[in-house]
Structure 1
Amino acid sequence: MPDDAQNIDPTKPSAEGAPRDHAAAVTPPPRLPRPVPIRRPQPPHTIAGLATSASIAVIATSSSVAKFDLAELGDADLAADVTALAQGYNLDVGMPLVSVLVSAATALGSLVRIEIGGAWIEAPVLWGMMVAPPGSRKTAMAALPKSLLGTIAEDEKTEWIQRREAAAREKRKLEIEWSIYDADCRRAVRKDFPYPEPPARRPDAVVVPIRPGIVIEDSTIEEITERLAGSPRGILAVSDEASTMLARGRNTRALMLQATSAGSLRVGRISRESRELTSFSVSVLTGTQPDRVAGFIGGEDDGLAARFLWVWVSETPSPRIARVPLKLDRLLEVIARLRAMGKGEELVVIPMSEEGIDRLERAMGVWRAEGRKRGGLVQSWYEKAPGHASRLALVLEVLVQARAGEKLPTVISVARIEAAISLIDRLFAPAMAMVAMHIGQDRGERIRSNLIQHLGNNHVERFRARDLRRTHTRLFGTPGQFEDALRALEADGVLSRADRQPGAQGRSPGDYLVNRAKLPAAIVS
């Protein structure tokens, strides 16, 4: 007997007023439609009707907060290299792109700079920050520069060994000459001979070269300053967890805030003499998890967040193993050429074209307005966006030039400025907005935001709540927190129940329909 029939009282009249018959057949409730399974992530997509000015509220790819079209770089070879890395590591293009750009900036070095107008110069010092959940290959992307710059580092280490051995031989030679001179002086005293001429140099005048190191993982002040003394063109500090390098309260953090200007610096040391650095130039590539961003930045804006080019990855991609070996030969060759192009004794300043200055000036007006509208960390970041764009344009221009030879460009073109502005607007600024929003949200707001992003990124039209939460536990928290987010979106009209029909009995399976027309408003709110 159907469950519904057990609750029928045969003594009560039917709807037509006639007494019920015990033998009467009970009509079963209508069969409910089977739930439609959750759709798998689809290729990049932007929700229709979503505002694109400044690209702040854009939901785009299945794995990151915003999709940058690599064609906007204006460099087909660079786009191909980044695409190969993204496919090989199963990543969105944002992480390998920022890793390659930071590596290229480090290879070029701080002796090549860009001049914007008459009184503004920037060095190619880039800080990249990848915010992504566990399993997103942050470690692999943070380690990528060691592969790209490894050959250069080995060559410079070999050169350093040769120069050190030559200095040691010269020092030993001078020590012998001075020993002979001292003996001659003593003999002159005993026999009343004329005093001999001393050697031209003393042994301590020989400069023993300091060991270079382009990429470092030890972020102590001592290690940073020692490697900079050996590599005055600049170094790259890498770490797969930002808090180990730049946690609030560490002395390294206060020192590193000065590293993007590539100015001179005197670093005092207790155990040894102070170190004079002609160019304190340190690029950074690191990452962290979304839940650690607030603790890393801290409660006060000390300018650290504004110095980073942020890449925000919301979800890990579907598992996939690359079948084709990843080839980096072309990228390695370009990085080596960049190193050769930036090698020299004198500072080289490359001017930005007049068209580029005009274009950057217009972008600066837009960024200033957007920053004032948003305030807080986002405003601080937008204030530094012109510097970010200038340094990016320099790196992009020299990358293009490096494929043709080892001669530096004579001007930074407006095409590279356009590419840099696109990077700011479509990749780094939206990620910075996510950082600020994440810091300002409590746990419930973040779960709601994660749910909205997941629904938009993956083109979900219908889903079963229980299955979705179990598949993405890190995004959606506890069952109670997830239920609160569902109810909030249901109240906003973004979700509606798909499993309730008149007369249905029993436990609800928890199916929902998504009103995609209302998703953009939910994102902005």
Structure 2
Amino acid sequence: MEAHSHNSDPFSRLGDDEAAAGAVPPGDGWQPLVPVPEHAAKLPRSLVDRVAPAGFSFGAIWKYVTAHGERAFFVARYDKPANGVPAGKQIRPFTYCRDQAGQEDWRAKAMPSGRPLYALDKLAARPDAPVLVVEGEKAADAAALLFTDYVVTTSSSGSKAAGKTDWTALRGRKVTIWPDNDAAGLAYAADVAGLLHQADVASVGTVPVPQSWPVGWDLADELPAGVDLSKLTELMALSAQQEPEFGSWENPDLSLLGTGRRPAPGFPVELLNGWGEWVEKRAAACSAPLDYVAISLLASAGAAIGNVRWPMAGANWFEPPLLWCGLVGSPSSGKSPSMDAAFALVHHAEEQMAAGYDDERRDYETKRQTAKATREAWEAEVKASVKAGENPRQMPAEAAIPDMPPRPRVRVADATIEAIAKLASSLPRGLLLVRDELSGWFGAFDKYGGGGADRAFAIEMYGGRAYVVDRVKNAEPIRIPHLSIGILGGVQPDKLADMLSGPDDGLVARMLWAWPEQLPDFSLLRELHSDHKANSAFARLVELPMSADQFGNPEPKHIQLTSEAEDFLEQYARSVAIRAHQATGVMAGALGKARGHVLRLAAVLEYLWWCIQPNDREPDKISADAVLAASGIVDGYFLPMAERVFGDASIPLNDRLAMVLIRRLRDAGGLTFNSRDLRLSKGGPLRDASAMEVACSALVESGVIRPAPDREGGTKGRSSKRFEVNGRLFRKAA
């Protein structure tokens, strides 16, 4: 996996001389392919080193992506050191190209005009966030850590090439420009401001950087003496522009036309390596987004090694690799068929685990009957001893009725806490709890007398710690050495608000969410694809042996991260800690759990990659590639998904009703409507008269509609519920 650098020198100002930037001449016959095809290999490091200018060495590399997170191109910086300090720098762009003969390869060639902005996927994931434009990728990475309320971006190829970037992705956004503190920086800011106005942004402001600050200073440099973050924030505030007044008939506020949700990021299926093709084929067979299949696979694999292999970072940080995953979507979105695709692998593995279970069950029946007969004989002996005035002997061990061995399994569905606890006690490898509707599981915690204890048990299921269940109905407490249970289930969007309104005890923050866009069509599977390879691979996970402690009890084996992997994880944990500190509510909790999710997911990926390669030995370390892939999935997919889920659930009911009404008015296209007729004919959430009244009031306040009453039938009597629709609604939509 290629990772862009977050700790390199600033991007150099090369101007728009492509030859000087190391580009291949445009007439060479090689045409860049954007996005990079999924089948394309990684950018070869050998190519990056081969095109280094004489006297320069590789310094850093940055990845540009599409709005969906697909690779677009790379830019690498090369440093020319002098006395141990970079004294010069040059840039080389790298794109994946195809020549006239159809041959494809990576080339040191620049993408033509229309280049995507840096961090375009993050811009797409946070459509309502203000935008900060800086000069250079390193400054962008640094600014993103300083100003977490903003999405930070830049353009490629230096300060004079802003015009070669497509700025239309910022249409309608509030944008602030932070220039480098020199003449070239101010010129770049002026160019960008003009391009932004052409792109029809909502507002543009430029930060007034004090001229007394060091020449060339940017946000990636150390702060000037006496300057702290509050000063930077103060400068940002000075750039604010006067926003137009919304809500009048002349200038209606049409923000309610949005869904209220951030767009869904695409799942990076290429990071699953050998499993990617299986995921895509299973998703196509289900007519479902591949997200559902991929995440069901991750959750199932995590449970398969839940108490068998634990990733370990540093001297004493280890966690079970199980995951808690919620698939959000309507009843027809394909959640259940997608989970079933992964469960087919689990079922095959469970059948393999239970290969000797029939013999074990017969052995149990023999021991049970033997114990029963022994106990009856002993009881008769006790009676005789008591009658004779003698002390009866202690019950022999053979008279104790043994517990029935459970059938080996990975998955358990809709079980009570007591049933789950008993299974966890007798099946030490770990489990996956499956719920068709997670909201029912969450809601049950607050409905019954044991709700508090059940919620506490649920939270403990995540940590893998020892746990004891004491209930009156149980003669003996249930002792669980490592309570490790993953969760996978579906959630309907209208149930999210209730789920997220519970106690802030970290239960929701532990969830990894998937809410992809629903596919617009349905297609039947025409060709049956064999799952033999996938079944065999997944079964390798349940064949892994457990370790044992000094008393012979089953114990997870700790798999250490490599030193490089620990460095990457530590760096990621520091960056996400800053974001968590500045976030609020349930999103702060999700960010706080992100580093743990990366550690868990790195182990799941490492073992998924291993099991699909039949000749590979079991990993003895968690690699840096696994940590980088895991951090990419968490930061580029699961955290944006959390923002999408939490943001929608937090929309006030009044706004949600207004969103439904404004979309119906736009689709209808008329300039007048009767609210009573509309609610009775269309139904849905606006069928209730009070709901329609709330929606109409919100749109009147926004300047989208205004009352236009008349008298029903042209006579005296009750006013009709007639409204006029602002024609700007349709012009803006067009």
TM-score, structure 2 normalization: 0.52
| Residue 489 (structure 1) shift | 11
> Quick one: which of 323, 326, 331 aligns to 1:129?
326
Contact 2:577 2:592 in 1 (8 A): yes
Whole-angstrom distance in 2 between the partners of 1:45 and 1:444: 34
CA deviation vs aligned residue, 1:300-350 (integer Å, no higher than 9, x gap):
322111111111234443333332324432222221111102545442110
1:359 to 564, 568, 591: 568
Confirm or deny that 1:331 pairs with 2:573.
no
1:9 corresponds in structure 2 to none
Matched, 1:223 2:426: no
Aligned residue in 2 for 1:21? none
Q: Which amino acid aligns with 1:78?
A: W
Shift of 1:118: 0.6
Q: How far apart are the structure 2 equivalents of 1:476 and 1:64? A: 25
Aligned-partner Cα distance in 2 for 1:88–1:231: 33
Rounded to whole Å, the distance in 2 between the matches of 1:152 and 1:126 is 19
| Equivalent position of 1:57 in the other structure | 126
Inter-partner Cα distance in structure 2 for 1:113 and 1:487? 56
Q: Which of 46, 64, 80 pairs up with 2:67? A: 46
The one of 74, 78, 84 aligned to 2:281: 84
Question: Which residue of the other structure, out of 304, 317, 320, is the alignment partner of 2:523?
Answer: 320
Q: 1:487, CA displacement in angstroms?
A: 9.9
Hey, what does 2:166 align to over in structure 1?
none
CA distance in 2, matches of 1:77, 1:112: 21
The 1-side partners of 2:696 and 2:527 are apart by 40
Alignment of 1:134-213 (within 5 A): 134-157=331-354, 159-173=356-370, 201-204=397-400, 206=402, 208-213=404-409
Where in structure 2 are the equivalents of 1:284-323 lying within 5 Å? 284-323=487-526
Cα distance, 1:206–1:220 mapped onto 2, change above 3 Å? closer
Q: Retained in 1: the 8 A contact 2:310–2:318?
A: yes
Structure having the higher helix fraction is 1
Contact 1:438 1:446 in 2 (8 A): no
Q: Gaps (5+ residues) in structure 2?
A: 1-64, 69-115, 129-168, 170-260, 386-392, 548-553, 671-677, 706-724
Conserved 8 A contact 1:211-1:227: no
Cα distance in 2 for partners of 1:220, 1:198 equals 37
Distance 1:507 1:325, change over 3 A: same
Taking the TM superposition and a 5 Å limit, the aligned residue runs for 1:254-273 are 254-273=456-475
Tell me whether 1:432 sits opposite 2:645 in the alignment.
Answer: no
TM-score, with structure 1 as normaliser: 0.71
Contact 2:669 2:730 in 1 (8 A): no
For residue 257 of structure 1, report the CA deviation from its aligned partner.
0.8
Work out the CA distance in 2 between the residues paired with 1:120 and 1:349.
10
Secondary structure in structure 2 of the residue aligned to 1:216: strand
- Which position in structure 1 is the counterpart of 2:434? 238
Structure 2 SS opposite 1:261: coil
Q: Which residue of 2 aligns with 1:465?
A: 667
Judge conservation of contact 1:213–1:230 (CA < 8 Å) in 2: no
Provide closer, same or farther for how the CA distance between residues 324 and 489 of structure 1 changes in structure 2, counting only shifts above 3 A: farther
**Which residue in 2 is equivalent to 1:253?**
455
**How many aligned positions are there?**
439
Query: In the TM superposition, what whole-angstrom CA distance separates every residue of 1:104-163 from its partner, at most 9, and x where no partner exists?
Result: 111223121010111100111110001112311122234444322112333444533321
Contact in 1 for aligned 2:264/2:517 (Cα 8 Å): yes
Q: Which amino acid aligns with 1:435?
A: V
Q: Is the 8 A contact 1:96 1:141 kept in 2?
A: yes
Select which of 266, 273, 289 maps to 1:67. Answer: 266
1:421 maps to which of 631, 637, 640: 631
SS at match of 1:404: coil
Q: Please give the alpha-carbon distance, in whole angstroms, between the structure 1 residues aligned to 2:439 and 2:264.
A: 22
Evaluate the alpha carbon distance shift between residue 222 and residue 55 of structure 1 in structure 2; reply closer, same or farther with a 3 A threshold. Answer: farther
2:303 aligned to which of 106, 120, 124:
106
**What amino acid maps onto 1:281 in structure 2?**
S
- Does residue 485 of structure 2 align to residue 282 of structure 1? yes
CA contact (8 A) 2:374 2:399 kept: no
- Amino acid across the alignment from 2:465: G
CA distance in 1, matches of 2:294, 2:462: 20
Separation (CA, whole Å) in 2 of partners of 1:80 and 1:487: 51
Q: After the TM superposition, which of the residue ranges 268-277 and 156-165 deviates more from structure 2?
A: 156-165
Pick from 379, 400, 405: which aligns with 2:609? 400
**Cα gap change, 1:363 to 1:63, in 2 (>3 Å):** closer
1:45 is displaced (CA, Å) by 6.5
Structure 1, residues 9-35: CA drift from partner, whole Å, max 9, x if none?
xxxxxxxxxxxxxxxxxxxxxxxxxxx
Q: 1:63–1:99: structure 2 CA closer, same or farther, 3 Å change rule?
A: farther
Root-mean-square deviation (CA), in Å?
4.4
- CA separation of 1:286/1:180 partners in 2, compared to 1, >3 Å: closer, same or farther? closer
- Asked if the contact 1:94–1:311 (Cα under 8 Å) also holds between the matched residues in 2, the reply is yes
The answer to whether the 8 Å contact 1:239/1:286 transfers is yes
- CA–CA separation in structure 1 for the residues paired with 2:560 and 2:382: 59
User: Could you say if the C-alpha distance between residues 328 and 487 of structure 1 is closer, same or farther in structure 2, counting changes exceeding 3 Å?
Assistant: farther
Cα distance in 2 between the residues matched to 1:473 and 1:382: 39
Greater mean alpha carbon deviation, residues 297-306 or residues 348-357: 297-306
Q: How much does 1:219 deviate?
A: 3.2
After TM superposition, give the deviation of residue 214 of structure 1 in Å. 2.4
8 A Cα contact 1:107 1:336, kept in partner: no
Distance of 2:290 and 2:462 partners within structure 1: 25
Tell me which of the two structures has the higher relative contact order, counting C-alpha pairs closer than 8 angstroms and 6 or more residues apart.
1
Write the distance in 1 (CA, Å) between the matches of 2:661 and 2:629: 32
Residues in 1 aligned to 2:516 and 2:656: alpha-carbon distance in whole angstroms: 14
**Amino acid in the other structure paired with 1:387:** G
Structure 2 contact 324–511 (Cα < 8 Å) conserved: yes
Distance 1:206 1:286, change over 3 A: closer
Identify, as 1 or 2, the structure richer in strand. 2
**Partner SS, residue 514 of structure 2:** strand
- Measured in 1, the distance between the counterparts of 2:524 and 2:692 equals 32
What is the CA deviation profile of residues 15-70 of structure 1, one whole-angstrom value per residue up to 9, with x for unaligned ones? Answer: xxxxxxxxxxxxxxxxxxxxxxxxxxxxx97296575459741699x996111332
Which string of whole-angstrom CA distances, capped at 9 and with x for unpartnered residues, describes residues 154-200 of structure 1?
A: 34445333213213323444666787899999999xxxxxxxx9998
Instruction: Tell me, in whole angstroms, the C-alpha distance in 2 between the residues paired with 1:173 and 1:363.
Output: 59
Secondary structure, counterpart of 1:113 in structure 2: strand
1:287–1:487 CA distance, 2 compared to 1 (3 A)? farther
Partners of 1:482 and 1:233 in 2: how far apart? 56
**Pairs within 5 Å for 1:351-390:** 351-390=560-599
Distance 1:479 1:106 in 2: 47
Report the counterpart of residue 523 of structure 1 in structure 2.
none
- Specify the code of the residue in structure 1 equivalent to 2:412: I
Name 2:203's counterpart in structure 1: none
How far 1:238 moved relative to its partner? 0.9
For residues 202 and 104 of structure 1, what CA distance do their matches in structure 2 show? Answer: 39
Q: Match of 1:320, as an amino acid?
A: S
SS of equivalent to 2:523: coil
Q: 2: distance between equivalents of 1:467 and 1:96?
A: 39
**Alpha-carbon contact 1:63-1:315 (below 8 Å) kept:** no
The answer to which of 479-488 and 323-332 deviates more is: 479-488
Aligned CA distance change for structure 1 residues 487 and 141 (closer, same or farther; 3 Å): farther
